[in-house]
């Protein structure tokens, strides 16, 4: 089976966000594989181990993403592709990313594409479904279970806490929800092997795309931090009195109940 | 510039979700005096149209078909594309719900358009429409504008104030007929796991439990408190990982991002990933037996104590209030 994983490099979830010169400051920040993409990678590896084939992990970004691609290879992916757009594109949005990925995939005949359901930084959840639609294949988002039997596929989709069982077929794109699996840690031999696995680097030129083809449709004009929350009142006295006081405050001071 | 804007309505458990009215309000701002057309899609949904008019839609377009009984991206995009072809709107607003998140990117590709997802506020300034949305799961925000093509956005539930309901409002309700076919994904079964009623993302009050709740059983008192307050129960990843509750309840950077009026955190330490998902709530109450717990740094009110003692007392106190009022 020809399997592809779409992976985004993102800030570690431990990171606090600061803003410098109107942009999110990346200086000194730790980066990780987007947590939902880890589920996608794990599932891709499991599907390959069961049904045979090859897993290629693809990212659009700059050369810094090589580290996360190597991690994906160490987990067990077979090949990695970095589409390096740093020199070619200034304004970038989900439209841009999806177009680039779809252009790369269009002649690769993928059977299965896995993505995260959302990137924890940009947070739009657009890229997976956009890519599927550009390729003309069906998709199912936020899946917690995937069963493949020949061309027939059964997925369980998480819909705001309810489970929807869906039948569909390959080729297919799915996006991973928490609970799909337990992503493995790269093993030491895995890390050694990853160093020798192929990591291809492409640019827009290699994809038959001009900058105009992928021009963003939206633009960020400002980035800001939410007002800092101040620590409030810690109530005192015996617990029963504290509870009474809390209810009073919620009613007459905060006016939320 | 006056625009025509579509606003997609959503139905859950036999009633319109609140976000339907919020899409109308957002569409009004985008329309700048133009027309707001609510769209109803489903098997048999026309009866909801009046309620949308009462909440400010100028007109309602209805698409009904047996193949629209369950949501599928193929079925719904055929319905929406038919509406777009008939109405030729300049803007579209969906809720940033499971349905809206799944459907909007597909439609954006069909329309060759951008899409601003998860918008919490819309404003007009100097001829530009400015959309504010959280990034880094609420650790920061960005303001976006649309630079080319359709103005297409999804709005986060619970953030945009709907218009006051007014039964004197009226407008045209029109059905258009579309043959919905060739569905490539078929819904076989819907397994209901959540309680009837309030969805976490739309709840005005959330009572959330963490590892301090100690067991699935331990969530009982939290459920009782949520019930009295007409709210929903949520959880930290600690509680989900420990198997006390389902992952669908998880709040935080890799769970739901919520903004209720009142968030009551019980036995939650306040890890940065959890705070990302809830610290934009209006009022936060923390109940934790550790006075040093990080959660107190963002709480408006804190009680240092055992949640199994505090939560039932709180439920009693709110019950008394209810009886009095
Ligand atoms: C060089 C560069 C410059 C950028 N400049 C801007 C800018 O100026 N303004 C701005 O708003 N944004 C900018 N971005 C961000 C970028 O446009 C979005 O982050 C990206 O389109 C993904 O959107 P998202 O974060 O909402 O991901 P989502 O749609 O939430 O991601 C869902 C899933 O799609 C897949 N995916 C997402 N992104 C990628 C990717 N890059 N490669 C492979 N798979 C992916 C992953 O599986 C992910 O889990 C830039 C990105 C790059 C690489
Ligand atoms: C990639 C990544 C993503 C993550 N995403 C999320 C996310 O989306 N959401 C999330 O929540 N976490 C997330 N986490 C996990 C996060 O780092 C914390 O581990 C988690 O939030 C801790 O959950 P907790 O507060 O319930 O547990 P703990 O940190 O163990 O805290 C339990 C608290 O309960 C208190 N307590 C115990 N008994 C009682 C009692 N009887 N009465 C009152 N108080 C009591 C204790 O004092 C303590 O403060 C993520 C982590 C990673 C690495």
Containing A199, the helix (H) or strand (E) segment is strand A199-202
Q: What residues does each domain of chain B span?
A: 4-175, 200-324
Residues of A with Cβ-Cβ distance to B291 under 8 angstroms: 234
The reply to whether A164 and A233 lie within a common domain is no
Same domain for A250 and A185, yes or no, is no
Asked if residue A104 belongs to a domain, the reply is: yes
Residue B196, pLDDT score: 60
Question: A51 and A114, same structural domain?
Answer: yes
Do A126 and A233 belong together in one domain? no
What pLDDT tens digit does each residue of chain B (325 aa) get?
899 999 999 999 899 999 999 999 999 999 999 999 999 999 999 999 999 999 999 999 999 999 999 999 999 999 999 999 999 999 999 999 999 999 999 999 999 999 999 999 999 998 899 999 999 989 999 999 999 999 999 999 999 999 999 999 999 999 999 999 999 999 999 998 876 657 788 899 999 999 999 999 999 999 999 999 999 999 999 999 999 998 889 999 999 999 999 999 999 999 999 999 999 999 999 999 999 999 999 999 999 999 999 999 999 999 998 877 6
Whether A17 is in a domain gets the answer yes
CA distance A129 to chain B (A): 6
Q: How confident is the model at residue B197, as a pLDDT?
A: 57
Does residue A39 share a domain with residue A68? Answer: yes
Q: pLDDT digits over A5-60, tens only?
A: 999 999 999 999 999 999 999 999 999 999 999 999 999 999 999 999 999 999 99
Scan for tokens 């809390």, then name that residue: A246
| Phi (first) and psi of residue B10, to 5 degrees | -135, 145
Give the total number of structural domains in chain A.
2
Tell me: domain B200-324, CATH 3.40.120.10, correct? no
Supply φ then ψ for residue A41, to 5 degrees: -65, -50
A70 and A15 both lie in a single domain? yes
What is the predicted pLDDT for the residue at A231? 86
pLDDT for the residue numbered B23: 98
Please, what CATH class does the domain formed by B4-175 belong to? alpha beta
Residue A215 pLDDT > 90, yes or no?
A: yes
Residue spans of beta strands (DSSP E) within chain B: 5-8, 11-12, 15-16, 36-42, 59-64, 91-95, 116-119, 121-125, 128-135, 140-146, 151-155, 172-175, 186-191, 205-209, 232-235, 262-266, 283-288, 301-304
A77 and A133 assigned to the same domain? yes
Q: Are A78 and A172 members of one domain?
A: yes
Q: Single out the residue of A91, A171, A94 nearest to residue A130, CA to CA.
A: A94
DSSP string for residues in A89-134: -SS--HHHHHHHHHHHHTTS--SEEEEES--TTT----HHHHHHHH
- Scanning every residue of chain B, which has its alpha carbon at the shortest distance from the alpha carbon of A16? B139
CA of B210 to the centre of ligand 2 (A): 6
Q: Based on the domain organization, do A78 and A204 belong to the same domain?
A: yes
pLDDT digits (tens, 9 = 90+) for A217-243: 999 999 999 988 888 999 999 999 999
CB atoms within 10 A of CB A251: 14
Q: Which domain holds residue A44?
A: 2-213
Domain for residue A218, yes or no? no
Structure tokens at B21: 């009215």
* CATH code for position A29: 3.40.50.620
Q: Judge whether A220 lies within some domain.
A: no
Query: Which residues in chain A are contacts of B110 at CB distance < 8 A?
Result: 133
Instruction: For residue A226, give the nearest of A16, A35, A12, A14 by alpha carbon.
Output: A16
In this prediction the ipTM stands at 0.95
pLDDT reported for residue B201: 85
CB-facing half-sphere around the CA of A111: CA atoms within 13 A? 17
Q: Which two tokens stand for residue B23?
A: 């899409």
CB A232 to CB B147 under 8 A? Answer: no
Q: Are A115 and A5 spatial neighbours (Cβ–Cβ below 8 Å)?
A: yes
Question: Does A209 reside within a domain?
Answer: yes
Cβ pair A231:B134 closer than 8 A: no
What average pLDDT does chain A have? Answer: 96
Contact B226, B232 (CB under 8 A): yes
Evaluate whether residue A222 is within a structural domain: no
Residue A190 has pLDDT above 70, yes or no: yes
Q: If you count residue pairs, one on A and one on B, with CB atoms under 8 Å apart, how many are there?
A: 255
For B64, other C-beta atoms within 10 Å of its C-beta total 19
Å from CA of A141 to ligand 1 middle? 17
What pLDDT, on a 0 to 100 scale, did the predictor assign at position B301? 98
A159 and A243 co-located in one domain: no
Q: Which DSSP helix (H) or strand (E) runs through A223? A: strand A218-224
Please tell me the residue having the least CA distance from ligand 1 atom 20: A94
Q: Are strands B262-266 and B205-209 parallel, antiparallel or unpaired?
A: parallel
Q: How far apart are the first and last CA of chain B?
A: 47
Asked whether the beta carbons of B195 and B231 are under 8 A apart, the reply is no
Q: Taking CB atoms and an 8 Å limit, are B144 and A221 in contact across chains? A: yes
User: What integer pLDDT is reported at residue B324 of this predicted model?
Assistant: 73
Q: Is the dihedral of CA B25, B95, B260, A116 positive or negative?
A: negative
- DSSP, collapsed to helix, strand or coil, labels residue A48 as helix
Q: Which residues pair with B154 in a beta bridge?
A: B94
Residues A249 and A179 in one domain: no
Tell whether A178 and A234 lie within a shared domain: no
Exposed / middle / buried, residue A192 (Cβ in 10 Å: 0-12, 13-18, 19+): exposed
């Amino acid at each position: 089976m020809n399997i592809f994983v779409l992976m985004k490099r993102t800030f570690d979830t431990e990171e606090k966000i600061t803003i410098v010169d109107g942009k999110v400051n990346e200086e000194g920040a730790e980066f990780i594989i987007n947590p939902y993409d880890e589920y996608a990678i794990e599932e891709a590896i499991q599907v390959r181990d069961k049904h045979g084939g090859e897993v290629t992990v693809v990212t659009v970004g700059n050369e810094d993403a090589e580290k996360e691609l190597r991690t994906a290879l160490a987990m067990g992916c077979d090949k990695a592709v970095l589409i390096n757009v740093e020199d070619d594109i200034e304004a970038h949005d989900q439209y841009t990313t999806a177009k680039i990925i779809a252009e790369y995939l269009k002649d690769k005949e993928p059977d299965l594409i896995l993505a995260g359901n959302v990137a924890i930084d940009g947070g739009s959840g657009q890229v997976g479904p956009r890519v599927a639609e550009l390729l003309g294949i069906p998709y199912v988002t936020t899946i917690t279970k995937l069963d493949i039997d020949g061309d027939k596929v059964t997925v369980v989709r998480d819909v705001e806490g309810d489970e929807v069982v869906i039948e569909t077929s390959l080729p297919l794109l799915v996006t991973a929800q928490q609970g799909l699996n337990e992503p493995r840690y790269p093993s030491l031999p895995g890390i050694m092997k990853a160093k020798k696995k192929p990591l291809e680097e492409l640019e827009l030129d290699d994809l038959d795309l001009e900058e105009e083809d992928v021009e963003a449709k939206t633009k960020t004009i400002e980035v800001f931090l939410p007002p800092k929350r101040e620590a409030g009142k810690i109530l005192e006295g015996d617990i029963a009195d504290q509870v009474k006081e809390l209810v009073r405050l919620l009613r007459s001071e905060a006016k939320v109940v | 510039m006056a625009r025509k804007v579509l606003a997609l309505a959503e139905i859950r458990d036999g009633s319109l979700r609140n976000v339907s009215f919020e899409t109308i309000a957002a569409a009004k701002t985008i329309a700048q005096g133009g027309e707001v057309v609510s769209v109803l899609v489903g098997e048999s949904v026309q009866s909801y149209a009046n309620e949308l008019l009462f909440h400010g839609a100028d007109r309602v377009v209805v698409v009904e078909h047996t193949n629209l009984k369950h949501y599928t991206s193929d079925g719904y995009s055929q319905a929406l594309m038919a509406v777009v072809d008939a109405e030729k709107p300049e803007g579209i607003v969906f809720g940033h719900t499971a349905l809206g998140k799944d459907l909007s990117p597909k439609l954006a590709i069909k329309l060759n358009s951008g899409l601003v997802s998860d918008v919490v506020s819309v404003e007009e300034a100097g001829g530009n429409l400015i959309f504010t949305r959280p990034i880094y799961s609420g650790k920061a925000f960005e303001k976006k504008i649309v630079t080319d093509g359709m103005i297409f956005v999804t709005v986060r539930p619970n953030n945009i104030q709907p218009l006051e309901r007014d039964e004197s409002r009226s407008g045209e309700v029109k059905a258009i007929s579309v043959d919905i076919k060739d569905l490539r994904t078929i819904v076989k079964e819907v397994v209901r796991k959540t309680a009837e009623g309030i969805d976490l993302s739309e709840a005005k009050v959330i009572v959330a439990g963490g590892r301090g709740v100690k067991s699935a059983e331990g969530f009982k008192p939290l459920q009782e408190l949520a019930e009295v307050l007409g709210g929903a129960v949520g959880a930290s990843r600690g509680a989900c990982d420990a198997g006390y509750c389902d992952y669908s309840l998880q709040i935080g950077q890799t769970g739901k991002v919520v903004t209720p009026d009142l968030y009551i955190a019980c036995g939650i330490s306040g890890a940065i990933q959890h705070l990302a998902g809830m610290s934009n709530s209006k009022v936060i109450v923390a109940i934790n037996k550790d006075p040093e717990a990080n959660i107190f740094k963002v709480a408006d009110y804190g009680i240092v104590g055992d949640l199994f003692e505090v939560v039932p007392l709180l439920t009693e106190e709110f019950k008394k209030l209810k009886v009095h009022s």
